[in-house]
Structure 1
Amino acid sequence: MHCRSTSVRPQIPVISIVGGKSNSGKTTLLEKLIREAKGRGWKVATLKHDVHGFEMDQPGKDTWRHAQAGADIVAISSPHKIAILESVSEDQPLDEVIARIQGVDVIFTEGYKSGNKPKIEVFRSAVHQELFSKPEELIAIASDISFDNGIPCFGLDDAAGICDLIEEVFGFRGELS
C-alpha cells in the first residue's frame, strides 16, 4: 500500500467588512483594522471586490502592452512587490479568489456584501436606516450608535476591540498560528 502525503491547508479566517451603502466607512475601518493587526504581528491580506471593474496597468507601460497583445496572465516583480493580473471571463466566486491567497493569518474582504463569510458591518447613523446584514451573518457591528441585538458592537475607531474579538472568535494570536 502506498501512502501519499496530503498537505491540508490551514483554514485562514476570512472576515468581510460590509456596509449598506457607499461612504459608510468600510475602507476607513479596514485601514484601522490592518494597522492594529500588523501591530499585533499578524500577516494580513485584503481582497476588494469591485463590481465595476478596475485597471491597475497604465496605458503604454510594458505590462499593459503585454495584456493588449493577448496575454492571459501578466505578472510584474520588483524587490518589494509582485503583482499578478489575470484575465477572467466572469466574476470569480469569493472562495476561488481566496484559495489563491496563502501565508497570512487573516484575510479581510471589502465589497462582498452577499458573500458567505463572517461579517463586520459598518453602520453610521447619518448614512444608514437599518442594518444591511442578517444578524446570523455578523460577528460584530462597528457603529456610532449602540445596538441591543446580542451582536458585539464597537465604536467606529475601536480597531483594538474588534481585533480582540477576532482573536477570540477564531482562536489565534497571529504569526500563522
Structure 2
Amino acid sequence: MLAESVVPSPAVAVVGRHNSGKTTIVEGAVAELTSRGLDVGTVKHHGHVGFDIDVPGKDSWRHRHAGATETWISAPGQVAMIATIAGEAECAQIVRHMPGHDVVIVEGYRKSGLPTIEVMRAANPHDAQVAETFFRAACDGLPLTCDFVQATRASHREAPKPGAPVDPGKMPTEATVAVMTDIPIAHEAAARYGIPSFDLSDTQGLCDFIVRTIARPRLTAVIQAGGESRRMGCSKATVPFMGRPLIQRLVERVSHAADELVVTTNEPENLGFLREAYPQMHIRLVRDELDRRGALPGIYTALKNATYDAVAVVACDMVFASPRLVAAEFQELWHTGAAAVVPANRNGYEPFHAVYRASACLPAVEARLREGDQRAQAFFDDVEVRAFPQSRVLMAEPGGRCFINANTPEDLAYTEKLARDEGDELIL
C-alpha cells in the first residue's frame, strides 16, 4: 500500500486438527505469496489461555504487570502491541484492524466465518478418520451443512468406533473453499463436492488458487488535476489551501485507498514537486491523451493510463474527497463484478468520485468519444453501472461532504473554513 490503508483485507483460514501440518502450510503459502509481490498478513489462533510475546522482566513486561492494559513496543522496523481484554478477540475484529494487505492468512479460527482451507494429513490418525467420514458423506450425497458424523453413522448403521471419536465441529463445512491433503479419499470427496483440492506439497497450486479467488486486486487512483481553471483564475492543483497547494491535500487523502497514484495534468512541469514531496508514492504525472478537453476525455485518460483494472477517479477540486468512500466503492466493484460503482443522489451520478473497471469501461468510453460525446456519463448505458446510494455513502463517510467542489475563490475560502472549523487537517 502507498500509505496507511483504509481498504479492508480479505482473509482465509487454514484449519485442521492438532498435528495436521497447518503451520507448515501457512509458512509455505506466506513465503510463496510474498515472493510474488503480495503483501501478506497473518493471524495465529492460540487455543490455550495465556501467552506472552515479551520476556518477563523486560521493560514492556514490567509496564503491563504494573497495571497497563495496553502496551506498545516500538523499535526501528518493528512494532508490537500487547493488550489485556475480556474474553477472546473475534477473528473478524482482528482482521478489521489489519487493513491494506492483499490477503490475511489465519491459522485456526475454524468458526470465524471466514472461508477455510481444510488440511488433512495421512500420518495423523485423527485426519484419517475425518477423511473417511468426509468421503462417506460425499458418497451418500450429504450436504456440507449437515453433521457428517451423525449422518454417516446413521446411514451406515454404525456404532461409534473405539478410541478418540471424530469431532463433528472439526469437519469440512460450507465454508470450506479448498482442501490440502495426501489422503486419496479426501481428494475424491472434495471432487464430489466440487471443492478444489491440492497435495500437501503443492504450495504453488494453493497460492494460485488464493491469488485467483481470495486475494485483493490492486487499485489505481487517478486525481484529475487538469490545468488552468477559468472560474478559479489559476490552476486548481496549485492554488493554496491551508497553506499548501490543494493537490497535496488530495494526494494525502486518496493515497490511503490506492496501490498506485496517477495525477492527470496539462502542467506536469509545475507539479514535479509532488515526486519530491512523496518519493515513496512513486506518483505518475500523465498528460491528457486527447487534445480536446471535457469530462469524458478525462475519464479516458484515467482508464488508459492505469496500471490496474480497478480505477478510482477523483477530481482535484473535491476538497473532502474520501478514501473511505473510494474503499467502499472498490469493495462493491470487486465483489459484484460490476463495470463501475458510482455514487448517486437526488442530483444524479457523481462520476468524479467513482471506481471503474478499465477492461469493461474503456471500450465503451472509446466508442462514445468516436461519436463526439464529451459527457462523463455518456457510456453509462453501455456497461453495468452499479449506483452507490446516499445511504451507503454516509455509512462510508458520515460527514457526507465528499462531493463538494471548489470551483471559485469563494468556494475555496468556504471549504477551507469548513476544514479549519472541524479540525479536518488530518483525516485518519
Pick closer, same or farther for the CA change 1:164–1:173 going to 2, 3 Å: farther
Q: Does 1:74 align with 2:71?
A: yes
Any conservation in 2 of the 1:43–1:174 contact (CA below 8 Å)?
no
Pick closer, same or farther for the CA change 1:89–1:63 going to 2, 3 Å: same
TM (normalized to structure 1)? Answer: 0.87
What letter is aligned with 1:151?
Answer: I
Within-5 A mapping of 1:78-157: 78-127=75-124, 128=127, 129-131=129-131, 132-146=170-184, 147-148=187-188, 149=192, 150-157=194-201
User: Which structure has greater helix proportion?
Assistant: 2
Any conservation in 2 of the 1:17–1:109 contact (CA below 8 Å)?
yes
1:133 is displaced (CA, Å) by 3.2
The match for 1:39 among 35, 47, 60 is 35
Which residue of structure 2 aligns with residue 26 of structure 1? Answer: 22
TM (normalized to structure 2)? Answer: 0.38
Bigger CA radius of gyration: 2
RMSD: 2.0
Q: Write the distance in 1 (CA, Å) between the matches of 2:195 and 2:173.
A: 7
Any conservation in 2 of the 1:42–1:173 contact (CA below 8 Å)?
no
1:126 is displaced (CA, Å) by 2.3
Q: Stretches of 4+ moved more than 4 A in 1?
A: 171-177
Pick closer, same or farther for the CA change 1:51–1:31 going to 2, 3 Å: same
Question: Tell me, which stretches of 5 or more residues in structure 1 are unaligned?
Answer: 1-7
Identity %: 37
Output one character per residue of 1:100-132: Cα deviation in whole Å (capped at 9) or x when no partner.
Answer: 112211101112022210000110122111153
Aligned length: 169
Output one character per residue of 1:58-95: Cα deviation in whole Å (capped at 9) or x when no partner.
Answer: 11100000001111111111112100111101101111
What letter is aligned with 1:168?
Answer: R
What letter is aligned with 1:107?
Answer: V
Q: Write the distance in 1 (CA, Å) between the matches of 2:20 and 2:121.
A: 6
For the residue of structure 2 that corresponds to 1:74, the secondary structure is: strand
Q: Write the distance in 2 (CA, Å) between the matches of 1:171 and 1:111.
A: 19
Any conservation in 1 of the 2:8–2:98 contact (CA below 8 Å)?
no
Output one character per residue of 1:19-73: Cα deviation in whole Å (capped at 9) or x when no partner.
Answer: 0x21110000100000000011011111011121311111110000000111111
Q: Write the distance in 1 (CA, Å) between the matches of 2:30 and 2:212.
A: 17
Which residue of structure 2 aligns with residue 170 of structure 1? Answer: 214
Any conservation in 2 of the 1:121–1:138 contact (CA below 8 Å)?
yes
What letter is aligned with 2:174?
Answer: E
Question: Highest relative contact order (Cα 8 Å, sep 6+), 1 or 2?
Answer: 1
Question: Tell me, which stretches of 5 or more residues in structure 2 are unaligned?
Answer: 132-169, 220-258, 260-307, 309-428
